[in-house]
Amino acid sequence: MEALPRAENPNPLQGANLCSRLFFWWLNPLFIAGHKRKLEEDDMYKVLPEDSSERLGEELQWYWEKEVQKAKKAARTPHLTKAIILCYWKSYLVFGLFTLIEETLKIIQPIFLGKIINYFENFDPLDTVALNFAYGYTAALSVCTLILAIMHHLYFYHVQRAGMKLRVAMCHMIYQKALRLSNSAMAKTTTGQIVNLLSNDVNKFDQVTIFLHFLWAGPLQAIAVTVLLWIEIGPSCLAGMAVLIILLPLQTCIGRWFSSFRSRTAAFTDVRIRTMNEVITGIKIIKMYAWEKAFADLVNTIRRKEISTVLKSSYLRGLNLASFFVASKITVFMTFMTYVLLGNVISASRVFVAVSLYGAVRLTVTLFFPAAIERASEAVVSIRRIKVKDASQY
């Protein structure tokens, strides 16, 4: 007997109102069900029509075919990156406004905090005007915190969804191409290589969309923070910002190394999967002639090279994270050491404002910015590998 089709739950996001979308209330029924019992497959919501594989894949395929036609007319090589940009740049550009608002609020918050602390430093119980201003600054700080929390979660939800759409569209194109491979192409491509593309390479698109906007937001925020710190503590801020500026070229170089290591890792993975596919196909002959040890050594050698490259990438990733944790301490130390040596007196309001501003720019410049370079480098390598597999049809 054939299995009965599973009744799909309608997605509550389709009919959700503005407040439900802002605060993710449309997920409450799923959370309540998960609190009462273990979630099952039947509890999952139906995929939205705009997120379906068929729709996303056909949309990206249309832009890719258009790019191929343009490349033929111009006698050049088609670029898959151009097709992806033309397909998604409008929707992804809107998410840049989320980034702009969020990073602006992170800069404004320390200013209000400094005003509040300055009120308590110069406290006068008879000054009602200063008290009213303090209430206003407190209210503004609370509103900024609330808006920042809402914008932060909305941004990461939507950019992750954008990455999911790109990944699903690329999987659809790869699968459709695999069904149309000619005999000559099948001789050059193994099942393992296609599985590697679908399991490893496309996953990079989920990650690159999260941090990509910080490639422009990071430098802009660093400039804005430098101006505010100059107004607050004068030229001493340059000592701290110099530390962050020194890290930028270092992180750029690390991003290039990530791209190189990613290419080498993918090449070793392809060789290992192809070798394993050949071993499994001819396992009877290998057993007949007792070649198990020879082929095991061959696979182990390829695997050791692959692990060695992955290990180097992990060292670089650790160096990036180390720069994130160390940068904050060094920038604050260099800033206030220079501030004191110039004959200034440290106050609580200046310290809190400077530390808060450095905290805001540290997260963007020393964590999100290098992560954007790293993920963009890996995504470029993945696009190049997918394009090589897909271009043979044309």
- Compute the chain's Rg from CA coordinates: 27
Angle at 74 between CA 72 and CA 76, to 5 degrees: 70
Read off the pLDDT band of 142 (50, 70, 90). very high
pTM: 0.76
Close Cβ partners of 62 (under 8 Å, ≥ 6 residues apart): none
| Sole residue written with tokens 């963009």 | 376
294-320 pLDDT per residue, tens: 888 888 998 898 888 888 888 887 887
Distance separating alpha carbons of residues 171 and 158, to the nearest angstrom: 20
Tell me the one-letter amino acid at 7. Answer: A
Does the pLDDT of residue 139 top 90, yes or no? yes
| Sole residue written with tokens 């963007």 | 364
Residue-level pLDDT at 7: 63
98-126 pLDDT per residue, tens: 899 998 999 899 889 888 988 888 888 88
Does the pLDDT of residue 326 top 90, yes or no? no
CA trace torsion 111, 243, 156, 60 (10° rounding) = 130
Does the pLDDT of residue 78 top 90, yes or no? no
Does the pLDDT of residue 2 top 60, yes or no? no
Cβ atoms of 367 and 324 within 8 Å: the answer is yes
Cβ atoms of 360 and 240 within 8 Å: the answer is no
Tell me the one-letter amino acid at 143. Answer: V
Could you count the other beta carbons within 10 Å of the beta carbon of residue 283?
A: 13
The chain-wide mean pLDDT, for the chain, equals 84
256-276 pLDDT per residue, tens: 787 778 778 877 887 888 888
Domains of the chain and CATH, by start? 51-391 (1.20.1560.10)
**Residues linked to residue 9 through DSSP beta bridges, in sequence order:** 45
221-261 pLDDT per residue, tens: 888 988 988 888 888 888 888 887 787 777 777 767 877 78
Share of the chain above pLDDT 70, in %: 94
**Residues linked to residue 45 through DSSP beta bridges, in sequence order:** 9
Distance separating alpha carbons of residues 107 and 228, to the nearest angstrom: 9
**Closest-CA residue to 390 (of 174, 202, 168):** 174
Could you count the other beta carbons within 10 Å of the beta carbon of residue 158?
A: 16
